[in-house]
Amino acid sequence: MKKIIYKDGKDIRIDQFISNNTLYSRSQASKLINKGLVKKNGSPVSRSSEKIIRNDEIKISELISNTSIRPIKLNLNIKYEDEDLIVLSKDEGIIVHPSETYNGPTLVSGIIEKYPEISDVGEAQRPGIVHRLDKETSGLMVIAKNPKSYNDLKLKFKNRKVTKEYIAIVNGPIKNKGIIEAPIGRHPTNKIKRALVENGKAAYTSYEKIGENNDISMVKVNILTGRTHQIRVHLSSIGCPVVGDNLYSKTENKIPRLFLHSIRIKFNHPSNNKEVEIQDNIPKEFLDLIELKEIDE
């Protein structure tokens, strides 16, 4: 149970207050409220839009899912490890953690099989997880090994203190470099998709072309924000969807995977504040697809 006294003088929505003062996102705050796990001055909060005022006392209970995580042996591709954290390269096609709609094998299943001590770090259904990649995206992820590093890294990602770089292969002609700054929100008719929406969350993506062959290009992509499907939505919005993206491409792809890979990550270490920078290799299937002998990295 977490207790917070609101000291500001300005009225604020309770879901926004929780997001601003805890490690929960605004959507997670709404889920806590809907489950009856948030109280204001001793009474359960019924709406995410409910306002709080100065000196209101907010109590938040942890959201515990009934879903159990089954340890499963996976071939984890560890790129860096110390007593506080792990950086690994996730394979394409693996879901990071279980959810209310999926309870099959996940990356978390493999992590707790190899590191059972991580089971109690962070949220119950996503132990050690401080950020995530889509199921279809491969590449580097940071995993926290203890509560101190979990809290520190979670805040770094939330406050945009982590450099995240991706490699993508895209369809169509693309400029040598560019910046896409357009808000992203839920798609108006498809609950799985995201879209550019006027009242969406701010999203910033920059890209640089590093190779091309016929009608496809390899680009290096950096994101300042981390919205759901951000790179896929932004690149599709300029007419250059990621190869293999059946969700955001106008034409159906028969290519068996999404060609998006988290290739570099940089942050300050939670214990000593020294810079940690991990670089992954460009996957072989990316090089095979574009058939380039030299890549300008």
Burial of 164 (0-12, 13-18, 19+ CB in 10 A): buried
Burial of 208 (0-12, 13-18, 19+ CB in 10 A): middle
CA distance 90 to 283: 12
> Which of 31-35, 82-86, 197-201, 222-226 has the weakest average pLDDT?
31-35
The pLDDT value given to residue 113: 96
The pLDDT value given to residue 67: 53
pLDDT in tens, 249-276: 887 667 889 999 999 999 999 999 999 9
CA distance 124 to 216: 42
The pLDDT value given to residue 268: 98
The pTM (predicted TM-score) of the whole model is 0.77
CA distance 277 to 142: 11
CA distances from 35 to 17, 63, 239, 240 (A): 17, 8, 41, 41
Residue with the bigger pLDDT between 92 and 199: it is 92
pLDDT in tens, 211-255: 998 889 999 999 988 899 999 999 999 999 999 998 998 876 678
The pLDDT value given to residue 293: 42
The overall average pLDDT reported for the chain is 90
Percentage of the residues of the chain whose pLDDT score is greater than 70: 93
Please determine, for residue 192, whether its predicted confidence score (pLDDT) is greater than 60: yes
Residues that are catalytic: 134
pLDDT in tens, 93-150: 999 988 765 677 899 999 999 999 999 898 888 899 999 899 999 999 999 999 999 9
Geometric angle at alpha carbon 165, from 124 and 278, rounded to 5°: 75
Helix, strand, or coil (residue 119): helix
Amino acid present at 15: D
Domains by residue range for the chain, with CATH? 2-60 (3.10.290.10), 165-262 (3.30.2350.10)
Please determine, for residue 297, whether its predicted confidence score (pLDDT) is greater than 60: no
Q: Report, as an integer, the average pLDDT of 159-188.
A: 94
The pLDDT value given to residue 66: 45
